[in-house]
Amino acid sequence: MHPASVARSTGLWALNHGVPRVVFHLQARKGEPLARIQTDPVLREHPEAMWQQVRERGDLVRGGYAWVTASLDVGSRVLRGDEFGVPLPEPSSPTARRLDRFRDPWAAGPVDPPSLLAIDPPDHTRLRRLVSRAFTARRVAGMEADIEATTHKLLDQLAGERRTDLIESFAAQLPVTVIADLLGVPAEERAPLLGWGDGAARLLDTGLGLRQFRRAERAIREMHQWVNDHVERLRRQPGDDLLSAVIQQADDLPADERPTRHELRALALLVLGAGFETTVNLIGNAVQLLSDHPDQRDALVAAPDGWGNAVEEVLRYDSPVQLTARMVRRPVEVAGRSLRPGHAVVVMIGAMHRDPAVFEDPHRFDVTRQNAADHLAFSAGPHFCLGAGLARVEARVGLAALYERYPSLSVEGHGVRRPTRVLRGFESLPVRLG
Ligand code: HEM
């Protein structure tokens, strides 16, 4: 790397990861539950006791470095409230300008502007509309037959096997194939996607070590280059895929509304990465839970109509996205607390899903739970997941076909959890197929 790039990257790491890393460790030593989950992989694997500590302190509590909530009601209020923005300083503030000096548009990650996850209205509304107009419920419904065909093709490849790593051979392959089809990615260019996606997923976390950060930055830089070429190719030769539709719509806009190349690239990169880095976790988490609860697995195999609700219960019980955050933009009172501009609120999605005020016997996994879908696994408000409908279809179709073929599929030994903090899923999951 050029010395100037090394200095830039180190500066960005120090602000986004180095300083928070020190703060997390200091707070963890003082016993702050969220910081302990962030810094201790064992607690991260079994966070229930820490969640309980947060809940016992109140609906909205002052943590060491931010307000924290494990209440579904308060979390929903924060995510939907227009007094809150993305967890970054106001773009016009001196801190934001200082951060901008270190940012490289060819290495911008999923939580760096202009990613949808890192911008507020009106830019967020303008860019999000481009995807939401083209990514309709009708388009998703029209994809179901193809998703089923992809699922069967992947399962056919397992024929004759007795054991497999379910993540490698199925849970990761299904979403990446579906999103690559949706975004018009040629078959021969798909191989590096999973590696790049893993880098992007790391960049959702705060407090990475310098080496981890550099590795993730390298992956995201390669992804930017490839996405840029892909966008240009679809601009010249549009297909009937979603990304071609987004590009055409964007190019037809009046100049003052048209996204810049950087904005369009960031949009494509986010949809691509979010399209497979989360759904893999949903499928993997479901397989682990059903292996732990074979009676519920058998009931689903006997009555496959239940798969839709089972997917909701997995999203609730073992959420693929565990955390998000917002920053207060205007003074606001929530849960009896006065929040001021600049205060951050961490919304503990995974913990909120065990809120006894909403879910009866919340630590029980029950695929027939009546209100399982009352979760916020896809967030809420302006940043509500654009791919929620697609993820639901993929998981329902994928799991139903998997268990139809292997009704007694079970985990053999122990899966290995991903090291990520925001995303929760498995890196590998050894299973006996039946
Ligand atoms: C189980 C699978 C998935 C889960 C749990 C999930 C979860 C989420 C969550 C929690 C957010 C919002 C974060 C926040 O409020 O700060 C989000 C945003 C987003 N998701 Fe998903 N997602 C999933 C699948 C997908 C898929 C399949 C796609 C694309 C096809 C996708 C595309 C996006 C995009 C583009 C955003 C940004 C929306 C915005 O900021 O306006 N997601 N997702």
Cα–Cα distance, 334 to 6 (Å, whole number): 42
Point out the ligand 1 atom lying closest to the alpha carbon of residue 179. 30
- Atom index in ligand 1 nearest the CA of residue 135 equals 30
Q: List the beta strands (DSSP E) in 311-355.
A: 323-328, 332-334, 337-339, 344-348
Rounded-to-10 torsion of CA 171, 173, 179, 181: -140
Q: What's the 271 CA to ligand 1 centre distance in angstroms?
A: 8
Ligand 1 atom index nearest CA of 79: 15
What is the distance between the terminal CA atoms of the chain, rounded to a whole angstrom? Answer: 50
Using CA positions, which residue lies closest to atom 20 of ligand 1? 385
B/e letters for 342-380, b = 16+ CB within 10 Å, e = fewer, are: ebbbbbbbbbbbbbeebbeebeebbbebeebeebbbbbe
Residue 430 phi/psi, 5-degree rounding, is: -75, 130
Report how far ligand 1's centroid is from the alpha carbon of 103 (Å). Answer: 23
- Residues 411 and 288: their CA atoms lie apart, in Å, by 6
Phi-psi bin for 160: left (phi > 0), alpha (psi -120 to 50), beta? Answer: left
Residue nearest to atom 6 of ligand 1 (CA): 378
Neighbours of 252 (CB within 10 A): 9
pLDDT tens column, 43-93: 999 999 999 999 999 999 998 889 999 999 999 999 999 999 999 998 888
CB distance 355 to 70 below 8 Å: yes
**Residue 75 domain boundaries:** 3-432
Q: What is the CATH number of the domain that holds 262?
A: 1.10.630.10
Could you tell me the sign of the dihedral formed by the alpha carbons of 37, 39, 45, 49, in that order? Answer: negative
Kindly give the distance from the C-alpha atom of residue 224 to the centroid of ligand 1, in angstroms, as a whole number: 19
- List the residue whose alpha carbon is closest to atom 35 of ligand 1: 271
Tell me, rounded to whole angstroms, the distance of Cα 358 from its chain centroid. Answer: 23
Number of domains comprising the chain: 1
**With contact defined as beta carbons under 8 Å apart, do 316 and 375 qualify?**
yes
Report the residue among 79, 243, 278 best suited for mutation to probe ligand 1: largest number of ligand atoms under 8 A from its CB: 278
pLDDT at 157: 97
Give me ligand 1 centre to Cα 255, in Å: 28
The amino acid present at 6, given as its one-letter code, is V
Residue 323, φ and ψ in degrees, nearest 5: -140, 150
Q: 200 CA to middle of ligand 1, Å?
A: 14
CA-nearest residue, atom 3 of ligand 1:
278
Query: At CB < 8 A and 24+ separation, what contacts does 117-126 make?
Result: 117/86, 117/270, 117/383, 118/86, 118/88, 119/86, 120/85, 120/86, 120/329, 121/382, 124/382, 124/383, 125/382, 126/257, 126/259
Instruction: Among 147, 181, 385, name the best residue to mutate to test ligand 1's pocket (greatest count of ligand atoms within 8 A of Cβ).
Output: 385
Task: Give the residue whose CA is nearest to atom 23 of ligand 1.
Answer: 278
pLDDT of 265 reads 97
Q: How far is CA 241 from CA 183, 186, 231, 268, 403, in A?
A: 6, 11, 12, 12, 30
pLDDT tens digits for range 187-219? 999 999 999 999 999 999 999 999 999 999 999
How many beta carbons lie within 10 A of that of residue 190, not counting itself? Answer: 15
Predicted pLDDT of residue 2 = 81
Ligand 1 binding pocket, CB closer than 6 Å? 116-117, 128, 179, 270-271, 274-275, 278-279, 282, 320-321, 324, 377-379, 383, 385-387, 390-391
Atom from ligand 1 closest to the CA of residue 326: 16
Q: Are strands 344-348 and 163-165 parallel, antiparallel or unpaired?
A: unpaired
Question: Which positions of the chain have pLDDT values less than 70?
Answer: none
Task: Give the number of the atom of ligand 1 that is nearest the alpha carbon of residue 395.
Answer: 1
CA dist., res. 16 & res. 99, Å (int): 9
Please report the atom of ligand 1 found closest to the CA of residue 270.
35
Q: Which atom of ligand 1 is nearest to the CA of 325?
A: 16
Q: Give the residue, by CA position, lying nearest to ligand 1 atom 16.
A: 324
CA–CA gap between residue 179 and residue 58 (Å, rounded): 40
Which sign does the torsion angle of CA 64, 65, 70, 72 carry? Answer: positive
Q: Please tell me the distance from the alpha carbon of residue 235 to that of residue 251, in angstroms, as a whole number.
A: 9
**384 Cα to the center of ligand 1, angstroms:** 7
Tell me the CB-side half-sphere exposure of residue 218, using CA atoms within 13 A. 10
Q: What is the pLDDT of residue 4?
A: 80
- Report CA torsion sign: 294, 317, 176, 192: negative
How far apart, in Å, are the Cα atoms of 148 and each of 153, 165, 178, 261? Answer: 9, 21, 10, 35
Q: Distance from the CA of 46 to the center of ligand 1, in angstroms?
A: 24
Element (H, E) at 45: helix 41-45
